[in-house]
Structure 1
């Protein structure tokens, strides 16, 4: 039984400065709309306070102007989960500007560092990949970190990092799915 779930999203185009328009997340933000939907999918819960306290998501932003930047949303420490893309974007902007809300932090951690940190913290690593072992037949550790990419996926360097850390490839199906849908499916299948 999983006690703690974490998601690591590699956002290859996500802006690394709070200089994007919240009204144009898909354009000026470098697909920050995708990032925001993933944050919501990871944290929003039907619990009375609206947040999954056993879940966190680390978003590794790799877009301009100054990559990398990792923003982590830890449900255990947050006052509330964002309920929409604009609210999630406002939290991202605040973290980037040094005004992170409670439970949110921003660091200059790159993808490999984020993966290694999760491993050091005792998380078993699972790479969501179309060619992996069938998710429904997989077993997961009590602390599971699920790694996924944005619309570009994980690049070869990122895959080598995951392989070197012993990440197990698991598949939700033979086709690529939206990253936010993958998170929702994982949360539904691994409560």
Structure 2
């Protein structure tokens, strides 16, 4: 299982946003929707052995974590509005607490912050990798990528406090290339590296 944590610093935490204005009124929810599509979609199929955790930090009720599980996921189509509709439905649930609540098949929501997510993965013995352009080349890493947890920021990156927290609990920073890329593009490149290893095109 691969897990991706995507942090949306401005992403709203209410279901009242418009699917017609996700870059604006929804706090760049469009970035998170593109990341969801990159995490799960193959040509004519979905990746089943992967999860995405959207950490929403915008107003009015942060923090919220929406978890997408590929094995159980339904009703997701390869467009931003489809992912946005599933996020919107999750945020419309009343009385969100620290206990996960299912909104639609394969999608759950709860109240949780970055520290909680990292602690949960760390306690399970999972290796956590922080994506940054100045990190270690992903192709030079020999262990831990399979079943790894990958952390990506939105258009704002990570704050200084978030970086300090992540670096204190991660296996380090990794890079998929020398240039700064969009988070959804980084996810596709990570998948490509792992696919090539899985199918024997790269030996590690």
Q: Structures share a fold, TM > 0.5? A: yes
Kept after mapping to 1: 8 A contact 2:130/2:170: no
Question: What is the TM-score of this pair, normalised by structure 1?
Answer: 0.92
Give RMSD over aligned pairs: 1.4
> Which position in structure 2 is the counterpart of 1:14?
11
- Aligned counterpart in structure 1 of residue 32 of structure 2, from 31, 35, 59: 35
User: 1: CA distance between counterparts of 2:59 and 2:92?
Assistant: 15
Kept after mapping to 2: 8 A contact 1:21/1:29: yes
Q: Deviations over 1:134-155 (max 9, x none)?
A: 1111124231011010011011
- Aligned counterpart in structure 2 of residue 169 of structure 1, from 163, 170, 173: 173
User: 1: CA distance between counterparts of 2:6 and 2:34?
Assistant: 11
Q: Which structure has more RCO (C-alpha within 8 Å, separation ≥ 6)?
A: 1
- Aligned counterpart in structure 2 of residue 160 of structure 1, from 160, 164, 176: 164
User: 2: CA distance between counterparts of 1:178 and 1:138?
Assistant: 22
| Residues 120-135 of structure 1 aligned to structure 2 (within 5 Å) | 120-135=123-138
- 5+ residue gaps, structure 1: none
User: 1: CA distance between counterparts of 2:77 and 2:63?
Assistant: 23
- Aligned counterpart in structure 1 of residue 141 of structure 2, from 127, 138, 141: 138
SS at the partner of 1:9? strand
User: 1: CA distance between counterparts of 2:15 and 2:143?
Assistant: 36
Question: What is the TM-score of this pair, normalised by structure 2?
Answer: 0.86
List structure 1 runs of 4+ shifted beyond 6 angstroms: none
Structure of higher CA gyration radius: 2
- Aligned counterpart in structure 2 of residue 69 of structure 1, from 64, 74, 78: 64
- 5+ residue gaps, structure 2: 94-101, 196-204
Q: How many pairs does the alignment contain?
A: 186
